Amino acid sequence: MLMLLIDSGNTRIKITYLINQFRQTEDLLVLEHDQIEKLREWCNTLPEVPARAIGVNVAGEDIAHQIQQALPASCGLHWLAAQAQTLHLKNSYTNPAQLGADRWMGLLGLAEHRQHPELPAMLVSFGTATTVDTLDADNMFMGGLIFPGVMLMRASLHKGTANLPAIDLRKSEVPPAFPHSTEQAILSGIIAAQAGAIVRQWKAVLDKTKQQPKIFVTGGARHGVLPELLRLLNDIALLQGFDTITLQEIESPVLDGLRIYAQAEWNH
């Protein structure tokens, strides 16, 4: 049986598949929202007709409907939602279903990346929004942050003001602390806001758990922020008497989580 795994995000849709129980493919389809019709063509190239699809969707009902329409008629689609508990993962939200399904599956996907499960883990996702979510050593979701992503910050400054330019944020370097141009001021401001929020949460996790959290980062907008984030984290780690902090980059934690969920379902 071939099962599709679908991560329908605010900006892009990522799709891969599993064949039978554990056979994972490297085939990955990435679509913009106006390219969903290509999903129909892609399904026709697969080794067999998809029997089922599971996924998460944060892009709205219209996108969900378009995805369903692009799948073969015989392929049932089930959208997952956050729950009070999914496998080993536990949810501290007052209303567990209110947590974004993509964030929930992303945290589930950390299971195959955590080399030190006895330590808290932070998942930082640099997407349309930046999210910072934390698991404790008992796999309890402690809570998280949501704030405008790198490109949203850039767009809001450009569109919401008369004179501020749209800047290039693809550079991967520590921005100047005292900018000498408007472009540098915007770049430094955005990166400082992103990195500062993450460092604040790192310190909050440390204070609450008395353990240094491991940080996992994902998302296409991460590269410009990482040098400054590492600099700030290591400055504060030095004050705390810790060794050098490293960040682990992972490409598709949501798809990893969907795969873990699907494999557990097959075994059930």
**Which residues are marked as active site?**
102
| 63-69: long-range pairs with CB below 8 Å, 24+ | 63/8, 63/13, 63/33, 63/36, 64/8, 66/36, 67/6, 67/8, 67/13, 67/36, 67/39
Tokens matching residue 126: 């640099």
Amino acid 214 reads K
Query: What b/e sequence results for 175-209 when a residue is b if at least 16 CB atoms lie within 10 Å of its CB, and e otherwise?
Result: beeeeeeeeebbbbebbeebbebbbebbebbbeee
Q: How many CA atoms lie within 13 A of 7 on its CB side?
A: 26
Residue 219 zone, left/alpha/beta (φ > 0; ψ -120 to 50; rest): left
Q: How far apart are the first and last CA of the chain?
A: 16
3-state secondary structure of 135: strand
> Tokens 């996702």, residue?
125
